Chains A and B, each alone.
Chain A
Amino acid sequence: MTQEAPSVFLRRAAVRFDGRPVFEGLDLDLPAGRWICLLGESGVGKSSLLRLIAGLCAPQEAQGTLSCSDGLPLAGRVAYMGQGDLLAPWATVLQNVLLGARLRGGRSAERAGQARAREVLARVGLAGREDALPAQLSGGMRQRVALARTLFEDRPVVLMDEPFSALDAVTRHRLQGLAVELLHGRTVLMVTHDPLEALRLADRIEVLAGSPPRLRPVMPPVGRAPRPLDDPALAKQVEALLSALGAPAAAA
């Protein structure tokens, strides 16, 4: 990583669509170099919160102040992974990794980044597949390309919106491990609806629940991520997390 990862502070965040508030008055801290999972039921506003931090909300929709521990603005220091792999189907694997370079600096920047793009592809285990088209790859491999693209962007802050939700269980498990390893040291905010995923990966868990939605920190899981799933402590925490999410343990 070329930049030290900062902490990110969000204060009095509010998002409204068509005048109807999704949430209001939320405060969220993302400690430097940590992996934070934002957990909540679907429709509670997790993705909106992530989009707010990513700067993707229209100004009339969103309010709140964003600041970083190093005093620099957050804009331009964020990498984003959306739901699904978001690969351009007409571009090769290599071109997809270089998408950011191309969009910002055109063909010359794309050429200049080639060597580093090949390097990050090798790190996600896709050396030799640079010229394949996304349609020729499996879902897991496509998600690896998306991860390589995120690494290529080399941003200190990474925002992820359920990036692995479309994958099968085995592939998801493998990619979670890879992501934790490769994104180590960056400030990561990952939105998920899967308590197990949060417990496996997070240094900190924030639960967004209730009406109106409020953020609640949940006790940090023990041990280093990625945690093994057969850890009995982890199973116990799933139960606690589910009740924090608003689902009574008995009914769930």
Chain B
Amino acid sequence: MKGARVLVVALGLLLAWEALVRVTAVPPFILPAPLAVTMQIISQAELLLHHGWITAIEILLGLFFGTLAGMASALLIVASRPARAWLMPLLVISQALPVFALAPLLTLWFGYGLASKVVMASLIIYFPVAAAFADGLRRCDPGLIDLARVMGASRRTILLHLRIPAALPALASGLRVAAATAPIGAVVGEWVGSSRGLGYLMLHANARLQVDLMFAALALLATFSLILYFTLDAVLRRLTAWQPESDSDSAAGFSLSSRKESL
């Protein structure tokens, strides 16, 4: 059902695009027709996949390291009072600094290659993951923690067996934001300085007025981001299946499956 709806929406958009191009007779170097873009995707498949592969790796690595750093910070914040006092301002500063403005600096520090883009993507998702997870860890029912203490549980076991499972839905919403923003970090990194990746390819094509190739790269990037988001969403839903739907919907933000369908 929902798959069909997505298809209809996508098809409708493509048709509207094609119609716009035909009606306005806009030149192809301003807005290429979807058919021309599709032709580009097919004829330039090897080039696109080569660059797409690089970008995909940057996004996935950024997602991995950013999530790791974010979760570690959240655990530290909750586990120790001094860590909270020292890390909280750092967290806020990391968010106040526009990561895009850091991109040239990161390229200077980490070079033209993969590393600077991975750092960029990690930085961009670090805050949402850390903030969401820390919030979830802190929101564990205090009554449940009292119960565990009377049962003779240590702080560590309470963290492991109660706080972390209770924080999973909050972490999941942080990860959804991360999955949606990590590609931005990778592409911005490539724009600032690189010789590979979809961002590079787009900039390169744009400069030579190969707008159809640019659109093809864009389409590939969008497809990859969507696959990433919905795969992650499905996995996270599975992990937090115990949560009542009405709650997880509000935590999920945008998701294809609505409450009605899941009932």
Interface positions of A (Cβ within 8 A of B): 51, 54-56, 76, 78-80, 82-84, 86, 88-91, 99-100, 102-104, 133, 135, 153, 159
Q: In the complex the two chains form, is B150's CB within 8 Å of A103's CB? A: no
Q: In the complex the two chains form, is A76's CB within 8 Å of B152's CB? A: yes
Selecting from B46-54, B95-103, B141-149, B178-186, the interface stretch reads B141-149
Closest 10 CB pairs of A and B: A103-B153, A80-B150, A100-B151, A82-B143, A90-B242, A86-B143, A90-B165, A86-B144, A103-B157, A86-B147
B243 at the binding interface (Cβ < 8 Å) = yes
Q: How far is the CA of A55 from the CA of B147 in the complex (A)?
A: 11
B232 contact set on A, CB distance < 8 A: none
Q: How far is the CA of A135 from the CA of B243 in the complex (A)?
A: 8
Q: How far in angstroms is the closest Cβ of chain B from A139?
A: 14
Q: In the complex the two chains form, is A82's CB within 8 Å of B152's CB? A: no
Q: How far in angstroms is the closest Cβ of chain B from A70?
A: 19
Choose among B141, B147, B153, B168 the residue that contacts A104 (Cβ–Cβ < 8 A).
B153
What are 28 A-B residue pairs whose CB atoms fall within 8 Å in the complex?
Answer: A54-B146, A55-B150, A56-B150, A79-B150, A80-B146, A80-B151, A82-B143, A82-B147, A84-B143, A86-B143, A86-B147, A88-B144, A88-B162, A88-B165, A88-B166, A89-B242, A89-B243, A90-B165, A90-B242, A90-B243, A91-B242, A100-B151, A102-B161, A103-B148, A103-B161, A104-B152, A133-B242, A135-B244
Nearest A residue to B165 via CB reads A90
The residue among A90, A100, A102 with the most chain B CB atoms within 10 A of its own CB is A90
B141 contact set on A, CB distance < 8 A: 86
A88 contact set on B, CB distance < 8 A: 144, 162, 165-166
Interface size class of B (residues with CB under 8 A): 20 to 34
Nearest A residue to B168 via CB reads A90
Q: How far in angstroms is the closest Cβ of chain B from A81?
A: 8
Q: How far in angstroms is the closest Cβ of chain A from B161?
A: 6
Q: In the complex the two chains form, is B151's CB within 8 Å of A99's CB? A: yes
B149 contact set on A, CB distance < 8 A: 55-56
A102 contact set on B, CB distance < 8 A: 161
Contact with A along B128-157 (1 / 0, CB 8 A): 000000000000010110111111110001
- From DSSP, what is the main secondary structure of chain B's interface residues? helix
B158 at the binding interface (Cβ < 8 Å) = yes
Q: How far is the CA of A78 from the CA of B242 in the complex (A)?
A: 30
Q: How far is the CA of A133 from the CA of B165 in the complex (A)?
A: 14
Known: A54-B146, A86-B147, A103-B157. 8 other contacts (CB 8 A): A56-B149, A80-B146, A82-B143, A90-B240, A99-B148, A103-B151, A103-B153, A159-B150
Q: How far in angstroms is the closest Cβ of chain B from A59?
A: 14
B148 contact set on A, CB distance < 8 A: 99, 103
Nearest B residue to A79 via CB reads B150
Q: How far is the CA of A79 from the CA of B168 in the complex (A)?
A: 28
Q: In the complex the two chains form, is A51's CB within 8 Å of B146's CB? A: yes
Q: How far in angstroms is the closest Cβ of chain B from A154?
A: 12
The residue among B143, B165, B166, B243 with the most chain A CB atoms within 10 A of its own CB is B143
Q: How far in angstroms is the closest Cβ of chain B from A136?
A: 10
Q: In the complex the two chains form, is B150's CB within 8 Å of A104's CB? A: no
B150 contact set on A, CB distance < 8 A: 54-56, 78-80, 159
Q: How far in angstroms is the closest Cβ of chain B from A127?
A: 22
Nearest B residue to A56 via CB reads B146
Q: In the complex the two chains form, is A103's CB within 8 Å of B243's CB? A: no
Q: How far in angstroms is the closest Cβ of chain B from A146?
A: 9
Nearest B residue to A149 via CB reads B147
Q: How far in angstroms is the closest Cβ of chain A from B117?
A: 36
Nearest B residue to A155 via CB reads B150
Provided the pairs A80-B146, A86-B141, A88-B144 are in contact, do residues A135 and B242 lie with their beta carbons within 8 angstroms?
yes
B147 contact set on A, CB distance < 8 A: 80, 82, 86, 99
B153 contact set on A, CB distance < 8 A: 103-104
B168 contact set on A, CB distance < 8 A: 90
Q: How far is the CA of A153 from the CA of B153 in the complex (A)?
A: 13
Provided the pairs A90-B168, A103-B157, A133-B242 are in contact, do residues A153 and B151 lie with their beta carbons within 8 angstroms?
yes
A100 contact set on B, CB distance < 8 A: 151-152
Contact with A along B225-255 (1 / 0, CB 8 A): 0000000000000001011100000000000
Q: How far in angstroms is the closest Cβ of chain A from B5?
A: 28
Q: How far in angstroms is the closest Cβ of chain B from A92?
A: 9
Q: How far in angstroms is the closest Cβ of chain A from B222?
A: 34
Choose among A83, A89, A104, A159 the residue that contacts B151 (Cβ–Cβ < 8 A).
A104
Q: How far is the CA of A146 from the CA of B93 in the complex (A)?
A: 44
